[in-house]
Amino acid sequence: MRDVNIGIVGLGNVGSGTMAILAETSDSIAQKLGFRLVVKALCARTIEGKQIPSALADALVTTDWREVVNHPEVEIVAELIGGQGVAKEIIEAALAAGKSVVTANKELMAAQGPALVDAAIVHGANIAMEASVAGGIPVHTVLREGISGDRIEAFYGILNGTSNYILTEIERDGTAFADVLAEAQRLGYAEADPTADVDGFDARSKLAILAALAFGEKITAADIFTEGIRRISPIDFQYAHRLGHTIRLLCGARLTGEGLILSVRPALIPESTILASVKGAYNAVWVRGKYGADTFYYGRGAGPHPTGVAVVSDLMRVAREIRSGSPTRVSPFAHDRLEANRPVSVLKQKRAYYLRFFVRDEPGIIAALASILAAKKIGLDAVLQLPNEDKAALPFVITVEPTSEQSVQEAVAEMAKLDFMVEPVLALPMETAL
Ligand code: HSE
């Protein structure tokens, strides 16, 4: 069968991993496909310093993405630059030219995936995005194919490696968030601008894509309650451990009687759950289906090689479909909102909550807090106070019985008015049923 020719735009982390795998495994790829994947064109904003493997030396190397997209022999364009600006132009231009696209771009696919897939269908092309979420875990394929026959009831993910690395370092060493972040930046594990990772936006894009595939629902960023990890301190892990829990940035999508509740937020999870064993920069996805029960997927969420594997696997799948004369496609994204799976506000969620306080010590604090909880009809579960000498910023924790997020947020707003409160209350859901 005739070879399939590809072009790669973006030679950063993911692009370099993709080039390395294509160069080193070209024979085994050809063995599996029955034809070769040939890299015809490579593009980066600057070429200087890029290591192009010698096996790809015949490829055109350019700084102009149009030369890749318009290359007469290129049949698949790999867009590996990320973001929603030029990346979108590249993908749209490739699709308009009838060329298929493989992308690692979670931000763009979360925001505009349905429209881009529709454009691909109109132009008789394909668009594949396995590398956009949890690079080393083939979770798109799982949701689109492997367990698509199940009725998914809940989905939990650890989808941001940087946050998981930071949280598990705080947990292990008792180091403050800011110090762990600074060290992670120094080592190159965290970006110079860490906002997307530590404030939950990267995980939100990933959850939007996966929840759309899992529930057949149209999901937008606004549907997802999002809170990052900046306020998690070593003391929170001490209290969480006392409660038999740990803390992770949990991406959750749960089908309830009211609708689909979506959130990215730090949560207490039992130490006995498999998710608690996900440490460092690893990612994991746990899906609970009505019929197939629980399945769990684990692996590296990022990095040149794990993400490169996802890109190369997508290139192989798309190439196979091109050579087999692929049939009419159906978008993996839903276009209508299903009544039963409609996203609803996290305020409807009922959970036990962990409330952590820093207060200026004085008599009557517990009584004042208990009276606010009682007024909101929130049942108090436990009061915990580890030994601490700092009377000017004394930490302690109250856990409350399952109640609505609405009530908890109202109580927290009332508590913020108390003059002994040194910083805003930290309220984390306790996922005790995991
Ligand atoms: N910045 C992401 C993370 C990796 O920390 O998981 C790419 O998605």
Three-state secondary structure string covering the chain:
CCCEEEEEECCCHHHHHHHHHHHHCHHHHHHHHCCCEEEEEEECCCCCCCCCCHHHCCCEEECCHHHHHCCCCCCEEEECCCCCCHHHHHHHHHHHCCCEEEECCHHHHHHHHHHHHHHHHHCCCCEECHHHCCCCCCHHHHHHHHCCCCCEEEEEEECCHHHHHHHHHHHHHCCCHHHHHHHHHHCCCCCCCCHHHHCCHHHHHHHHHHHHHHHCCCCCHHHCEECCCCCCCHHHHHHHHHCCEEEEEEEEEEEECCEEEEEEEEEEEECCCHHHHCCCCEEEEEEEECCCEEEEEEEECCCHHHHHHHHHHHHHHHHHHHHCCCCCCCCCCCCCCCCCCCEECHHHCEEEEEEEEEECCCCCHHHHHHHHHHHCCCCEEEEECCCCCCCCCEEEEEEEEEEEHHHHHHHHHHHCCCCCECCCCEEEEECCCC
Amino acid at site 397? V
Pocket test for ligand 1, best of 13, 105, 162 (most atoms within 8 A of CB): 162
Same domain, 386 and 316: no
Point out the domain boundary residue: 270, 285, 300: 300
Point out the domain boundary residue: 339, 363, 396: 339
d(CA 38, CA 40): 6
Q: Is 107 near ligand 1, meaning CB less than 6 Å away?
A: no
Q: Is 164 near ligand 1, meaning CB less than 6 Å away?
A: no
Cα 118 to ligand 1 centre (Å): 27
Same domain, 245 and 318: no
Same domain, 281 and 386: no
Residues forming a β-bridge with 259? 256
The CATH code of the domain that includes 397 is: 3.30.70.260
Return per-residue pLDDT of the chain as tens, 434 residues: 899 999 999 999 999 999 999 999 999 999 999 999 999 999 999 999 899 999 999 999 999 999 999 999 999 999 999 999 999 999 999 999 999 999 999 999 999 999 999 999 999 999 999 999 999 999 999 999 999 999 999 999 999 999 999 999 999 999 999 999 999 899 877 888 999 999 999 999 999 999 999 999 889 999 999 999 999 999 999 999 999 999 999 999 999 999 999 999 999 999 999 999 999 999 999 999 999 999 999 999 889 999 999 999 999 999 999 988 875 567 888 767 777 788 999 999 999 999 999 999 999 999 999 999 999 999 999 999 998 888 999 999 999 999 999 999 999 999 999 999 999 999 999 998 78
The CATH code of the domain that includes 90 is: 3.40.50.720
**Exposed e or buried b for every residue in 84-105, given b needs 16+ CB within 10 A?**
eeebbebbbbbbeeebbbbbbb
Question: CA of 11: how far to CAs of 6, 86, 154, in Å?
Answer: 14, 15, 37
Sign of the alpha-carbon torsion through 90, 91, 93, 99: positive
Pocket test for ligand 1, best of 140, 202, 209, 248 (most atoms within 8 A of CB): 202
Q: Is 206 a catalytic residue?
A: yes
Q: Which atom of ligand 1 is nearest to the CA of 106?
A: 8
Q: Which atom of ligand 1 is nearest to the CA of 163?
A: 5
Same domain, 58 and 128: yes
Question: Cα dihedral angle (306, 307, 309, 311), rounded to 10 degrees?
Answer: 180
Same domain, 159 and 255: yes
Q: Which atom of ligand 1 is nearest to the CA of 135?
A: 8
Number of domains in the chain: 3
Q: How high is the pLDDT of residue 331?
A: 82
How is residue 248 written in tokens?
A: 């992770």
Same domain, 221 and 331: no
Q: Is 425 near ligand 1, meaning CB less than 6 Å away?
A: no
Same domain, 202 and 112: no
d(CA 189, CA 248): 18
Closest protein CA for atom 8 of ligand 1 = 302
Q: Is 199 near ligand 1, meaning CB less than 6 Å away?
A: no
Cα 135 to ligand 1 centre (Å): 9
Closest protein CA for atom 4 of ligand 1 = 302
Same domain, 260 and 203: yes
Same domain, 94 and 22: yes
Q: How high is the pLDDT of residue 327?
A: 57
Q: Is 157 near ligand 1, meaning CB less than 6 Å away?
A: no
Q: Is 92 near ligand 1, meaning CB less than 6 Å away?
A: no
Question: CA of 232: how far to CAs of 91, 163, 267, in Å?
Answer: 39, 11, 10
Range of the domain at 234: 139-300
How is residue 222 written in tokens?
A: 């606004």
Same domain, 287 and 193: yes
Q: How high is the pLDDT of residue 187?
A: 84
Point out the domain boundary residue: 339, 366, 394: 339
- Nearest CA-CA partner of 307 in 135, 128, 161, 80: 135
d(CA 21, CA 215): 33
Q: Is 209 near ligand 1, meaning CB less than 6 Å away?
A: no
Cα 79 to ligand 1 centre (Å): 17
Residue of 206, 290, 376, 377 marked catalytic: 206
Q: Is 273 near ligand 1, meaning CB less than 6 Å away?
A: no
Same domain, 86 and 176: no
d(CA 351, CA 35): 54
Same domain, 285 and 160: yes
d(CA 423, CA 260): 32
Q: Is 202 near ligand 1, meaning CB less than 6 Å away?
A: yes
Cα 180 to ligand 1 centre (Å): 17
